[in-house]
Structure formats: structure tokens, C-alpha cells
Structure 1
Amino acid sequence: MPGPQRIVCLTEEPTETLYALGEQHRIVGISGFTVRPPVARREKPKVSAFTSAKIDEILRLRPDFVVGFSDIQADIASELIRRGVEVWISNHRSVDGIVDYVRRLGALVGVADKAHAYADELQRGVDAIAEAAARLPRRPKVYFEEWDEPLISGIQWVAELVRIAGGDDIFPERAAQSLAKHRILEDPSEVVRRAPDVIFGSWCGKKFRPERVAARPGWDAIPAVRDGQLHEVKSPIILQPGPAALTDGVTELARVIGNWARAM
């Protein structure tokens, strides 16, 4: 079979993609943050976090290909490259980028045809949600919060998925910033001024607490707080730039937005 046979995945999205393509037998190591698919946690060794990795354990697995994501993993990648390992770090931040990522990863491991078919399926699902959302009677203003200490607004693919699901992100200018530090809200009252109708919380690694959001000074004036429209979206289905965001993630956004839009 062509392509690499011993793959280490430093983040969740390559793991989920390779399982979806039926190529999970090639994976020899995964990120400790992986939750999708659940079977991966049970059958694959966990050898990395997001900003750190067990380099010696990875090398003992004798990988012929390592896949990671973003400039945040640059140090891990450079150390593995110095140790003679082939590494691919993707850096996509958009919905189109996620679809293209599936195609590229499939091509790199020698299953381009399967990857193209899967990418097309993902795109059809997103298009169907967009078509349904276009028929909603109204569009909410949406605030998506990735973290609460400090407040961090949603990244690009999240803002795009909010729009696809029928809403309008209230911080589009920040969504274009790839680094979380550039999406920190120095003034929380800016959310009050922009008056979102719906608030989504996805606090990476911890449970969203809507009562804490509602108790922030001045936030009782926000329509979303006034109307009880504070909703959690689990971070594994929306904050990973992989298939989960284009399936379960956008579906959950569309469910909440649709309910809001139809509650006239």
C-alpha cells in the first residue's frame, strides 16, 4: 500500500479524518486531547498534548509521518525534524481550509480518492445547513466565547460556521486573527454594546457556566442574557479545525439559532 504506514497525530483532526477514511490502522500515536472518535483513545498510545510532546516516546514508535496543526506546534515539529522524522504541520483557519485539509491529508497518505469523496460529503452537509438557514425568518447577532479568563472571541472557522448556521458573529474583525491573544476582549463591555441575541460558550477543556456569564457587570442588558439564550457547544466538536466542526459542531449551532429564529 502506498503512503506512510506509521503515523503519529499531534492533534485530533488528523486522527478523526484517518478513522473516517478507514485508515486508522496506520496511526501509531495520538494526542492526549483526542476524544473523537472515542475508540481512538482506547486503542492508540497518547504521546502529545498541544504545546508539548513526548519526543522520545514518539521516536520509539518509529513513525514515518507526523501530522500536527498550527505554528503553536512549531517547536515540536522542529525537534522531530532534527531527529529525522518527516512532519507536516497544517495551518488552516477557515471552513474551506478544513475541507481542503481532508483532501490534502488523504493525498499525503495515499488515499486521495477516498479523501475527495469524504470532503465532498462534508461540503454537502455544510451546504445543506446553509440552505436551511437561509430560509429562517430572522438572523441573530451571535457572540461566541472560546475562553473566559480572559474573554476570547471565536476563531475564523467558528465565525464562518455561525454565519452558515444562520447567525452573524459580532466580532468579525477579531475572527480574522489566527492567534488567541489577538482575540482577547480587553473591554468586556464591548459585548454589551454589540448586544448579541445568542451567546455560545466553548471554554476549551472546562465546562461552560452560563450563570457566571449572566452575572458579569452590565451583562444583564444583553438580549441573550435577558432571554436566557446562553448555550454551550462542547469544544471537541467546534474548536478543532477538522470534520467535527463541519458535522456535529455546525449542526448544534444551527439547532440553537433555528430555535431562536422561529421563536417569534
Structure 2
Amino acid sequence: MGPRRIVCLTEEPTETLYALGEQDRIVGISGFTVRPPQARREKPKVSAFTSAKIEAILALRPELAIGFSDIQADIAAELVRRGVEVWVANHRSVDGILDYVRRLGALVGAGERANAYADGLRRGLDEIEAQAAMLPVRPKVYFEEWDEPIITGIQWVAELVRIAGGEDVFPELSAQPLARGRILASGDPVVERAPDIIFGSWCGKKFRPEQVAARPGWSAIPAVRDGELHEIKSPLILQPGPAALTDGVTAMAAVIRRWAMRRGE
């Protein structure tokens, strides 16, 4: 039931299909895929975020290609013109990720397993949120998605910061679905909002705390003063799939808990 030959243009459908035991349907993956690690060993890499090997994808005879957002609109359009059925998801929230898992499962005839998996992911988030509710104090958190230009965190990241026990300092920007809507013209707004913790996740390159700390005026930020600059690996948090709801939020919760317990002593 459902498509037997699927090309995953981003990581989250790959991780989800493996989690559901439906990995045999996958015939091609994104070159940025790191979860699960066996996918990189087993599946040919045929795409990046903004580009794809169209001929290589066609050679795989896919019955469906799965992508994400406007970032892959051109890839999707070309595949559609070449006769491939394409599903481009466009979710930006925690609830959207859970719904994505359910819809993808239903698409491949694994609806019950997908519902159970999504329910388990939700229970895990509820447990983290319940633990965070007992913290003696909640830190102000700044999440940086890119450095030049400075881009603040997307909606699901801001929601996970709150679940983990923090308060996102740019809640109004997190609601902007496109990265260009979350660009800061300068670092001054971050200085003004004085975060206690800074998380960095620069997609495709290593976060450099020393570079962030050296920005003009940033020495006044509590997070910089106290050395609370932490990298969250981009595959754990910037993919709108299971990783963000498990390892990503867990990593942030651990940092927030350590900070809060020190302040609550």
C-alpha cells in the first residue's frame, strides 16, 4: 500500500520512515542526512537543500518525492514537470511536526504505527515540559540559526525552548515562516534583550562561541558574561522532524536545567 519507491529530499522523512520500519521504500536521500546513520550507508544521496541531481532521481524511478518548504520549490517544480509525484510539506510548529509524522505514516499504509510513534513523541515532550515547570527560575534564551546575516530561531525551535524551560527572547520573530523575516539588521536587539543563554545552530557549519562573544557590545549580555554559549548540532534541531522533538529539545533542556539549578541554589 502506498508508494513503494520514495526519494526523500530532506532528512525528516528519512528519519520518520526508518522509525516506522518503512525504510525499504526509500530509494534516495538528501546528502545532508545524518539520522539515522545507516541511511547514509544504505541509500544513494541525490539532493541538497536547494539543489538536486534530477537525472539521478529520475533514474531511481521514484513513485514519490518528499521535500520541505519554499526552499525546495524549484526542485519540486522540476520533478513535477518530469512526471514525478511530489509532496512538499510546509509545517513550522511542534504540532505540525507531529501531524507530519502521522500523515507520512498514513501515506505509506503505516497509520497506526505512525500514530503510536507520534503519541510517544508527544509524551516525551510532556515529560520534559513537566520537569521544566519545576525549575526554580526560567532563563531568557536567544537561539541563532545563522550568523551572517544574523537569523533568529524558527517557530518549532522557539516552542521547544519554552518546553525545555526557557523563554525565547524573540517570540515575535519566531512566527515568521521564512528566514528572511527573522533577520536582524544588527546585534543590538540581542544586547537589549539580554539573554541568559545563547544557543547556536548554524546550518552546515560549526557554531563559534568566541566569534559571537566578540561582537560589538555583546560582552554586556549575561550569556556572554557567564560563558553560556552552547551549540546545538543543526541535524538535531533545524530539521522539522523527530530529531528536534527528541535529541534537540533534550540537549537544550539539559543546558537550561544546569543554568537554573545554579541560579536556584
* TM surpasses 0.5: yes
Aligned pair 1:177/2:165, yes or no?
A: no
Which amino acid letter does the alignment assign opposite residue 32 of structure 1?
Answer: G
Q: Which runs of 5+ in 2 are unaligned?
A: none
Residue 72 of structure 1 is matched in structure 2 by: 71
Residue 7 of structure 2 is matched in structure 1 by: 8
Matches within 5 A, 1:1-264: 2-264=1-263
Which amino acid letter does the alignment assign opposite residue 3 of structure 1?
Answer: G
Give CA-to-partner distance per residue, 1:122-175, whole Å, 9 cap, x none.
011011000000110000000000111111100000000000000010001110
2:205 and 2:83 map into 1 onto residues whose CA distance is 36
Give CA-to-partner distance per residue, 1:65-86, whole Å, 9 cap, x none.
1111001111111111111111
Helix, strand or coil at the partner of 1:142: strand
2:185 and 2:169 map into 1 onto residues whose CA distance is 15
1:74 and 1:197 map into 2 onto residues whose CA distance is 37
Give CA-to-partner distance per residue, 1:203-232, whole Å, 9 cap, x none.
111111111111111111000011111000
1:9 and 1:59 map into 2 onto residues whose CA distance is 13
2:123 and 2:252 map into 1 onto residues whose CA distance is 17
Helix, strand or coil at the partner of 1:143: strand
Task: Give how far 1:8 is off.
Answer: 0.3
Task: Give how far 1:110 is off.
Answer: 1.1
2:83 and 2:204 map into 1 onto residues whose CA distance is 33
1:84 and 1:152 map into 2 onto residues whose CA distance is 36
2:100 and 2:197 map into 1 onto residues whose CA distance is 30
Helix, strand or coil at the partner of 1:73: helix
The alignment's TM-score, normalised by the length of structure 2, stands at 0.98
1:210 and 1:22 map into 2 onto residues whose CA distance is 39
Task: Give how far 1:239 is off.
Answer: 0.2
1:76 and 1:187 map into 2 onto residues whose CA distance is 32
Task: Give how far 1:196 is off.
Answer: 0.2
1:96 and 1:193 map into 2 onto residues whose CA distance is 31
1:220 and 1:83 map into 2 onto residues whose CA distance is 53
Q: Which runs of 5+ in 1 are unaligned?
A: none
Task: Give how far 1:256 is off.
Answer: 0.3
1:45 and 1:57 map into 2 onto residues whose CA distance is 9
Task: Give how far 1:97 is off.
Answer: 0.3
1:218 and 1:74 map into 2 onto residues whose CA distance is 39
1:71 and 1:148 map into 2 onto residues whose CA distance is 21
2:18 and 2:192 map into 1 onto residues whose CA distance is 44
Helix, strand or coil at the partner of 2:184: coil
Task: Give how far 1:107 is off.
Answer: 0.6
- The 10-residue stretch of structure 1 (11-20 or 81-90) with the greater mean CA deviation from structure 2: 81-90
Q: CA RMSD in A?
A: 0.6
Count of residues paired in the alignment: 263
